[in-house]
A and B are shown apart, each in its own frame.
Chain A
């Protein structure tokens, strides 16, 4: 009737159209995840009889037990956490230290050092694979978790230094000067002033680095050999060989392997997205 009601109707149609489009997209994106979750809860006979794509006719948690115990996923998950947690903590600690020095003190060559460290992280890892595996042999740590931890720290630290440097640079100098006047040394300034102010960036980076390190495959298969030491990503490939076409067990294994990072994402979603932007868009 009036122009006003047409505008309202058009707006409503646009909203409906948006939800239809975005909803379809979300469903398309979530469908593979739903598929693997459903498959992990079905019995082998059900899948064999009806196919992977059919509506489930059974419900079992046995697949998880099989992947967890017989498939060695329990140990693999423990390995992954034994690598990931120290890596995240040590990398961020080292990176925070370097970023603090480079951003708050007039060190000689600080800009060159910063870019050198970032450059190391940007190198394609392929160029490092062979020397790193030989190096870990030479150092007597080949096929041990410390070797994996070492290389993850060494390779990752440059990027975090760069990001934290950018963040710490923005902290006003006056805060630090006041502390100097009060007689605080570098350690106190770092520990009591700069680090607490850097907490948002540290939270964002820890969420991000947790998933990166946890999901890594390449470094793990470069410095590790024994099945018992492999992290969850490599173990998942092993599971696939061990349970050829037993999709119920493989799906359960995938769910187990994805659960920790999904949990971190859902819990720290805000930090996570902030972290990605911190690193890239400034």
Chain B
């Protein structure tokens, strides 16, 4: 029998290989090994191996039919002169700041509003959370109906006498990106709210009592008790938001496909259309590498956090 690891007290050696804690006289049971190796194999086939190939393909020119042709860093040099790439990168940053920032702020605000257990609060929470389970495609279609020329939004504006504001929200280069962010927010805020609700629930009420006794007002209690206590949730929300922002694809693809004239193009949609519609697979892979590099910092810090928690 293998030695059982006690979950708590922590083993002193990070990677117990030899001579750490008491080693079992016999080797790890084959079944236990297989239990790890089979899932690892599945992930290797569909994730690790393709990822390595992706990095290699970024250094090639490839139409998907003939053999990929190695061209070194030419794809990345081309990006420097690619206006669409530049605007897609700017939009991605804008998306990160607006979509990410607003969903964090509004999610926290919603959590603060709905944190207290009282009558009816479950309904309000569920209402805010319901869009999270919608597919982004269905979400996008709902909002397309709202944004239509002569759609619900225009009719609403007309009915309150703001006719001058009416226009084709998604077909206008100046508004397309912002019009796409709104449904993405509508869907994300409930998710962030749930994370913050759990965080708020974890705060010791005694801290608030103490602050109150010391004469702290509502704002001071929020500033000096709530916010510091939410630090670990903030880190999670931040990573979720950055990773989600860089992955954002469905909502843009189904609303505008990055158009009109690339005005709502994100790196993810540009990568997809370059690879699968223009069939420039090498350049598409290079764009994917850029997305990876942008995400890498977050992934790395997430893993460092996870590393600390894992044992």
List the interface of chain A (C-beta within 8 A of B).
Answer: 15, 18-19, 21-23, 25-26, 29-30, 32-33, 35-36, 39, 51-54, 94-95, 97-98, 100-135, 150-151, 153-155, 157-158, 161-162, 165-166, 169-173, 176-177, 180, 185-187, 190, 211, 214-215, 217-218, 221-222, 232-234, 236-237, 240, 245, 247, 250-251, 253-254, 257-258, 261-262, 264-265, 269, 272-273, 276-277, 280-282
> Of residues A29, A169, A185, A250, which shows the largest number of chain B Cβ atoms within 10 Å of its Cβ?
A29
CA A104 to CA B7, docked complex, whole Å: 8
Known contacts A102-B36, A277-B194, A214 near B46 by CB under 8 Å? no
Contact A171 B7, beta carbon cutoff 8 Å: yes
| A127-B152 in contact given A26-B124, A33-B130, A117-B43 (Cβ < 8 Å) | no
Contacts of A170 in B (CB 8 A): 7
Contact of B145 among A114, A155, A247, A265 (CB under 8 A): A247
Sort A-B residue pairs by CB-CB distance and give the 8 closest, nearest first. Answer: A154-B46, A131-B50, A215-B135, A26-B127, A53-B155, A131-B53, A97-B35, A53-B152
Count class of interface residues, chain B: 35 or more
Cα A53 to Cα B236 in complex, Å, equals 39
The total of interchain contacts (Cβ-Cβ below 8 angstroms) comes to: 343
**How far, in angstroms, from A32 to B186 measured CA to CA in the complex?**
10
The answer to the question of B138 belonging to the interface, with a C-beta cut-off of 8 Å to chain A, is yes
Q: How many angstroms from the CA of A51 to the CA of B154 in the assembled complex? A: 10
CB atoms of B271 and A126 under 8 A apart: yes
Provided the pairs A51-B155, A105-B32, A281-B232 are in contact, do residues A237 and B142 lie with their beta carbons within 8 angstroms? no
Chain A residues whose C-beta falls within 8 Å of the C-beta of B131 in the assembled complex: 29, 32-33
Please measure, in the bound complex, the distance between the C-alpha atom of A269 and the C-alpha atom of B131, giving whole angstroms. Answer: 13
Q: Which of B12-20, B165-173, B207-215 participates in binding chain A?
A: B12-20
A113 in contact with B194 given A129-B272, A131-B57, A166-B309 (CB within 8 Å)? no
> Do A150 and B16 form a contact, CB below 8 Å, given A36-B145, A53-B152, A280-B236?
no
Contact between chains at B141 and A265 (CB < 8 Å): no
User: Contacts A100-B35, A154-B45; is A127 near B285 (CB within 8 Å)?
Assistant: yes
Nearest CB in chain A: distance from B229 CB, A: 12
Contact call B272/A126, Cβ cutoff below 8 A: yes
Give the distance to chain A from B113, nearest Cβ to Cβ, in Å.
Answer: 6
CB-based nearest B residue for A120: B47
Residue numbers in B under 8 Å from A30 (CB-CB): 127, 130
Indicate if the CB atoms of A35 and B36 lie closer than 8 Å. Answer: no
Partner of B194 from A158, A162, A262, A273 at Cβ < 8 Å: A273
Q: Which residue of B lies closest to A245 (CB)?
A: B148
Chain B residue with Cβ nearest A247: B145
The answer to whether A122 touches B138 (Cβ under 8 A) is no
Instruction: Fill in one digit per residue for B176-214: 1 if any A CB lies within 8 Å of its CB, else 0.
Output: 000000000010001100110011001000000000000
Verify A106–B2 contact, CB threshold 8 A. Answer: yes
Inter-chain contact A119/B299, CB cutoff 8 Å = yes
From DSSP, what is the main secondary structure of chain A's interface residues? helix
Q: How far is the CA of A117 from the CA of B143 in the complex (A)?
A: 36
State A142–B116 Cα separation when bound (angstroms): 51
A172 to chain B, nearest CB (A): 7
Given the known interface contacts A154-B45, A154-B47, A218-B249, the answer about A127 and B291 at a Cβ–Cβ threshold of 8 Å is yes
**Assuming A51-B155, A131-B54, is B287 touching A126 (CB within 8 A)?**
yes
Complex: how many Å from CA A133 to CA B144? 30
Contacts of B118 in A (CB 8 A): 15, 18
Given known A33-B142, A237-B254, contact A126–B299 (CB-CB < 8 A): no
Identify the interface centre among B243, B271, B276, B310: most chain A CB within 10 Å of its CB. Answer: B310
Q: Is the CB of A157 within 8 A of B39?
A: yes
A115 and B310 within 8 A (CB): yes
Please, which residues of chain B bring their CB within 8 A of the CB of A51?
150, 155
B97 located at the interface, meaning its Cβ lies under 8 Å from any Cβ of chain A in the complex: no
> Can you identify 8 A-B contacts, CB atoms within 8 angstroms?
A29-B127, A29-B186, A52-B148, A101-B33, A111-B307, A180-B1, A217-B137, A251-B145
Q: Given A108-B17, A128-B54, A262-B130, A240 and B240 touching (CB < 8 A)?
A: no
Cα distance A42–B169 in the bound complex, in angstroms: 24
* Interface set, chain B 245-293, CB cutoff 8 A to A: 246-247, 249-250, 253-254, 267-268, 271-272, 275-276, 281, 284-285, 287-289, 291-292
Across-interface contacts of A186 in B (CB, < 8 A): 2, 29, 31-32, 35
Question: Chain B contacts of A54 at CB under 8 A?
Answer: 155
